[in-house]
Amino acid sequence: MEIVKPGTYIDFMRYRGRVISVSLFLLFASAFALIVWPGPQYGIDFAGGTEIQLAFHGNVSSSEIRDTLTKLGHDRPDVVAVEGHPNEYILRIREISSLPENEKDQIEAQIQKSLGADTVEEVKFSPGGDKLSLRLSKEVPISEVSDALHATSAKVRDVTQFGKTSDHRYEARLVGIGDEVVHQLQQAFGARGPGDPLQVQWVGPKAGQQLRNAAIQSLLYTVAFIMVYIAFRFDLRFAPGAVIAMCHDAFITLGIYVLLHKQINLTTVAALLTVMGYSINDTIVVYDRIRENMGRMRGTPLRELINVSTSQMLSRTLLTSGTTLVSVTAFFIWGTPVIQDITFALMIGIVIGTFSSIYIASPITEWFDTRFFSEEARARRSGASSRAQGKA
Strands (E) in the chain, as ranges, are 41-42, 49-55, 78-81, 88-93, 120-125, 131-136, 156-162, 169-174, 199-203, 263-264
Please spell the DSSP secondary structure of 58-108, one letter per residue.
Answer: S---HHHHHHHHHHTT-SS-EEEEPTTSTTEEEEEES---SS-HHHHHHHH
Instruction: Please enumerate in sequence order all residues whose Cβ is within 8 A of that of 100, keeping only pairs 6 or more positions apart, or say none.
Output: none
- Asked whether 110 and 151 are in contact (CB, 8 A), the reply is yes
Tell me the three state secondary structure of residue 232.
helix
- Asked whether 23 and 151 are in contact (CB, 8 A), the reply is no
101-175: CATH superfamily: Threonyl-trna Synthetase; Chain A, domain 2 (3.30.980.10)
Q: Which pLDDT tens digits describe the chain residue by residue (392 residues)?
A: 667 788 889 999 999 899 999 999 999 999 999 999 888 888 888 877 888 999 999 999 988 999 999 999 887 788 888 878 889 998 988 887 667 778 888 999 999 999 998 999 999 988 767 788 999 999 899 999 999 998 988 888 889 998 887 888 999 988 878 888 999 999 999 999 999 888 888 776 677 788 888 888 988 898 888 888 888 877 778 888 999 999 999 999 999 989 988 888 888 898 899 999 988 988 998 999 998 998 888 888 889 999 999 999 998 888 999 999 999 999 999 887 778 888 998 999 999 999 899 999 999 999 888 888 776 656 655 665 555 566 55
- Between β-strands 41-42 and 263-264, what pairing exists: parallel, antiparallel or unpaired? parallel
- Asked whether 279 and 349 are in contact (CB, 8 A), the reply is yes
- Asked whether 152 and 110 are in contact (CB, 8 A), the reply is yes
Fold of 49-97+178-203: Alpha-Beta Plaits (3.30.70)
CATH code for the part of the protein at 12-41+205-377: 1.20.1640.10
* Cα separations in angstroms, 259 against 29, 190, 262, 302, 356: 9, 37, 8, 38, 21
Predicted pLDDT at 95:
80
Q: What is the pTM of this model?
A: 0.74
Predicted pLDDT at 392:
52
End-to-end CA distance of the chain: 64
Residue 226 phi, psi dihedral angles, 5° rounding:
-65, -40
- Asked whether 120 and 111 are in contact (CB, 8 A), the reply is yes
Residue ranges per domain, the chain?
Answer: 12-41+205-377, 49-97+178-203, 101-175
